[in-house]
Structure 1
Amino acid sequence: MDETCSLRDEYQQTIMHALWLCNQAKSVWKSELHFSELYKIAHRSFMDLLDSIFEQGSSFSVTLFSTISWCLWQHKNKLREHQSMWPLQEISRRAKELVLEFFEIHQRPSNPVRCAPFVKWSPLLVGLYKANFDAALFDNNELAGLSVVVRDSSGNIMGALSQKIARPQFVEHAEALVARSAVTLVKELMLFQVCFEGDC
């Protein structure tokens, strides 16, 4: 089959010609019956043709039409650049295979969503302590802030720390520094049964 278009010089800027009216394009579309029937209608533009496709009311037809159109466009570009491409007579079959694969994948039942177990807050047991720590990097200067607060099971503050340091290169570095400061503060307070909690 001759894969060049004898009228391409006259119609080279027309999408309607390149993807629908060109004899090579027709040979692809007419291999699909539900698209072949559309040649009985005089479409004024490619958008007019698209309206007819959407009126068919089938998502499969719309997807197949889009895929074949894309394949034809690729075919013409690769032909012009002398690149390897699918033969015209295989475009319809291969496009349909792509669409069927797409629908098969997207119609598979998804894995059931596992809901996270409900977590209810509860206070610390008597005799336990919690150390909360966080780090913040400031955009307007080269500083970072470290803060730690230690509370007992009743929420009373046993100790706290807040300091500014030279801004580390990475956020992870700042988080590691504030975690170390939390451990140091707890040791200085002579506390042993401590739960540490940070945002990192």
Structure 2
Amino acid sequence: MSTLTTKDLLRSRRVAVDALCPTCNAHVETIFHTLVTCSYAESCWSEAIIHMLATGLYTFPQWLQSVFQQHDKTQATSISMICWMIWKHQNNLVWNQAGIKVKEVVRSSTPILNQWRNVQYKTFNHLMSFTTQGDGAERWHKPQINNIKINTDAAIFEESHRFSYAIVVRDHTGSLIEASSKCRDGRVNPYLAEAFGIKEALIWIISNEYKNVTVETDCLQLVQAIRNSLPSYSYVGQLIQDCRDMLASLISKNICFRFVKRSANRAAHHPGRYNCSLADRVWRMGDVHSEFYNVLLEDSS
């Protein structure tokens, strides 16, 4: 928690932001203020019937150490989860203009903690969960008539500290409707980059008002996460939740996800790695270069 991107930390890194806490608008947003001394945090601790003595303490690590000394392991774990929920409230307020009610922070902390514990069990087999009979294709197949298929992929460019993601949209004849790739600055893991690709595919579906769409990716972990209903409060977890929300809005459009082997995802693999230094690109059938065209042709043959 010492790395939470509070406003005082952002300002220390010369990011021009208003320093006030978005919840109370009365004090500088520090970790200690947000999780301990803000009136909202104090209400959460009061609702949880946990007395949090902050007198004489000036930093969050000092406070946390004191708390752990006063409570047993089970209580300390619950306190940590409430801290996480308070921070989630702060983020929801900033990004979605909708906070979390104090009672909900306390009520949700226990089931979310239990869900987290469940997925930590060593008997939980990630490779066998949330897969369907249609997963694992080794070749690309044309969608049915009046259906379209979108393949997505991502690429990491370590040397330039950049990443890209691409989508390739094709109809039931295998013809290219549209392909696009976007490149962004930042050092991210492949899982996060792949999540951007999935979200881009869903945005494309919504923008173009298509229905009967299959979205394919070679990232099994991401497909499992989207099908799963467990919450995740990391940045990539928020992207996954965005994808779930968009899917919910498209429930009448018959949108499905498939995991495929990389050999069935070559068309998206190519533009994802093509766009490292170029601006965002869009291709249609008449302007694809020969190498990309050959991949499309081989898939359709």
Shorter chain as normaliser: what TM range? Answer: 0.3 to 0.5
Report which of the two structures shows the higher radius of gyration computed on alpha carbons: 1
Larger RCO, structures 1/2 (Cα 8 Å, 6+ apart): 2
TM-score relative to the length of structure 2: 0.30
TM-score by length of 1: 0.43
